[in-house]
Amino acid sequence: MDNKLLAIAGGSTLLYMVLSTLMAILPGIELSAVPPGPNVHDLTLLQQRGRQVYVSEGCAYCHTQQVRPLAVDQVFGRPSAPGDFAFSTPELLGSERTGPDLTNIGKRQSSEIWQYMHLYNPRSVVPQSVMPSFPWLFKVVDEAPKDIQAVPIPKKYAPPRGAVIPSRDAQALVAYLLSLKQPELPNNKPLAASATKPAQAAAHAPAPGNTTLTFDAANGLKLFATNCASCHGAQGAGVPGVFPPLAGNPVVNAPDPTEHIIVVLQGLHGKSIAGTSYAAQMPSFAAQLSDAEIADIIGHERSSWGNHAPTPTAKDVAQIRAQK
């Protein structure tokens, strides 16, 4: 009897140990030995501190940092590879996506000012956001010190008086967020080449009876929502004084779309638009968007919110991209 018990207890313990070695310990050892992928760098001290703030504020309860090889995940970047995580042990993969995946947030939302406004109160840049505010990462002072730029919080969300400045923790957190960028894998095709995918090519053929449409309106609307609306607003109204409105913007309504195309390809900084100077910069999209995608977005902007101007084709974008 005793022997039987021993055999059952010993046998199951042994089985448990063999299985955990095979399924957890060996893969773990193998994974930690994976060398960093090309262009994967270690974090700076400030970024490491930001990563600790990310953990202690519980950001990982609502945000993942893993792109799965699924079509629904394509908006977040390419599928994650083991070499991406070489310098981030323990990995902050997360399991809940109450908010978007942040693997590539440094590329998708590279504006420091946007990140500060969003952390202070997400509604100040994303009106329908349900993300909690993190005001304790900021200080309200009478006047911002010379070396720190005050965060331009819209009146509706700003404290009654004083200037909002980021604490050292907020600076570290934003430095960490902006460091989250997926390096390209070496054999990735350049984006411009993907413009001629058969499905997209078909979508770009003008609908029967509508020979003037040079772009795919549904795709333009979708791409604008994912790439541009966080700053310029879904209705093109912008955020007063911080991100310019695109409704009625002269570049968007100019008969010649060349300047419009250049702004989207290269980004923009330091231009005064309709008498307002903007401290934030417009990121460059040349590396993220194909010619056809840019043509669709520009088509959407030039035919929405009361704008009415000629729309360029993917070929027009390709020509300007080649000249620059």
Rounded to whole angstroms, the Cα distance separating 19 from 23 reads: 6
CB 57 within 8 A of CB 201: no
Residue 85 near residue 51 (C-beta atoms within 8 A):
no
- Amino acid residing at 67: V
In Å, the largest CA–CA distance within the chain is 93
Closest CA to 280 of 242, 227, 240: 242
At its nearest, how many Å lie between ligand HEC and the CB of residue 15?
A: 40
Q: Which is nearer to ligand HEC, 142 or 265 (CB)?
A: 265
The burial class, CB within 10 Å (0-12 / 13-18 / 19+), for 278 is buried
CB 173 within 8 A of CB 166: no
Residue nearest to ligand HEC (CB): 99
Minimum CB–partner distance for residue 26 and ligand HEC (Å) = 34
Cβ atoms of 280 and 111 within 8 Å: the answer is: yes
> Closest CB to ligand HEC among 128 and 323?
128
Kindly state the smallest distance separating residue 131's Cβ from ligand HEC, in Å: 3
Q: With contact defined as beta carbons under 8 Å apart, do 50 and 102 qualify?
A: no
Which CB, 6 or 308, lies closer to ligand HEC? 308
Closest CA to 303 of 316, 290, 312: 312
Q: How far is the CB of 130 from ligand HEC (least distance, A)?
A: 5
- Closer to ligand HEC at the Cβ: 204 or 260? 260
Distance in Å, CB of 143 to ligand HEC, minimum: 24
Distance CA 243, CA 231 (A): 6
98 token code pair: 């109450």
CB of 99 to ligand HEC, least distance (A): 2
CB-nearer residue toward ligand HEC: 165 or 180? 180
Q: Nearer Cβ to ligand HEC, position 36 or 100?
A: 100
Task: Match 């331009």 to its residue by tokens.
Answer: 152
Q: How far is the CB of 294 from ligand HEC (least distance, A)?
A: 7
Q: Are the CB atoms for 219 and 227 separated by under 8 Å? A: no
Which CB sits closer to ligand HEC, 37 or 122?
122
Binding site residues, ligand HEC, CB under 6 A: 54, 57-59, 61-63, 98-100, 102, 105, 108-109, 111, 114, 122, 126, 129-132, 134, 173, 177, 227-228, 230-232, 243-244, 246, 249, 251-252, 260, 263-264, 268-271, 273, 278, 280-283, 285, 297, 301
